[in-house]
Amino acid sequence: MALNIDVSDDFESLCSDFNTTVTLRIAGVDTQLSSVLNEPVDWRELDPTGGQVIRSGVLFVWSKKRSVQPPIGSIIVDSEENYWTIWKMANKQHVECYEAKCLNLNIITAAANIATILKATYTHGDAGEANSTWVGLWSGEAGGTTEDQVVAHFQPMEEESRIAFGGEWPAESYKVYLQDPIPTELSGGEFRLVDSEGGRYRVLKYIQEGRIDKFPVCLAERITAGSEYVP
């Protein structure tokens, strides 16, 4: 004889003493979820960055009665106004609940973790040569302003010696982690990143844009010679 077991209320009965309430945001539409169970938050380095680039994670569990199944990339806002991005979902049919594994990516707030983004504008010299002037990506002001600053961490990767035409100079490569994606193509000779001390960087690659579990990253080389060099 088949057994008809109704477990739809079991999770909420079990968690009736939990008063945690969060906001589930799906495509800009908010739903209040009550009686939510969550695990303690854990923190770790996303990549080796001297503790500057951190990935924190938490698990939220709630009854399926409270919401539709949220798609990956939906947001949960906890009681402390922390924003968590859902990157894994589980539909626990045997207990009629959803489990959402969520991430929060963060670059530590520090004066050094700032980048100014510049773009080149060109004029022609007397011989027809192109002369570049570097202005802020958004402000259009020479050298950039605070309007052109973004949260970023410059992480050294390697330094090597290059020899050419009888001269020798260091080549310094960096990973530059950006807190938010930049809505433009950053790689190429028309863009520069400037660190908090005025050092300039040529962007060789711009990768990981649109990832939930990773920051956008610029693979960059510090400019160590020429008119743009800042010692």
User: In terms of Cα–Cα distance, which of 216, 193, 214 is closest to 203?
Assistant: 193
pLDDT digits 0-9 by tens, 117-168: 999 988 777 776 667 889 999 999 999 999 999 999 999 998 877 666 666 6
Q: Where in the chain does DSSP place strands (E)?
A: 22-26, 29-33, 37-38, 42-45, 53-63, 75-77, 83-92, 97-107, 114-124, 130-136, 149-164, 167-178, 191-194, 200-207, 217-222
Average pLDDT in the chain: 88
Give the total residue count for the chain. 231
Q: CA separation (Å) from 90 to 61, 85, 115?
A: 9, 15, 38
Strand partners, 229: none
Question: Does residue 1 register a pLDDT over 60?
Answer: no
pTM of the model: 0.83
Measured from the Cβ of residue 86, the count of other Cβ atoms closer than 10 Å reads: 22
Of 12-21, 88-97, 214-223, which gets the smallest average pLDDT? Answer: 12-21
Please check the confidence at residue 22 and state whether its pLDDT lies above 90.
yes
Cα–Cα distance, 48 to 52 (Å, whole number) = 9
Structural domains for the chain: 10-107 (2.40.10), 114-222 (2.40.10)
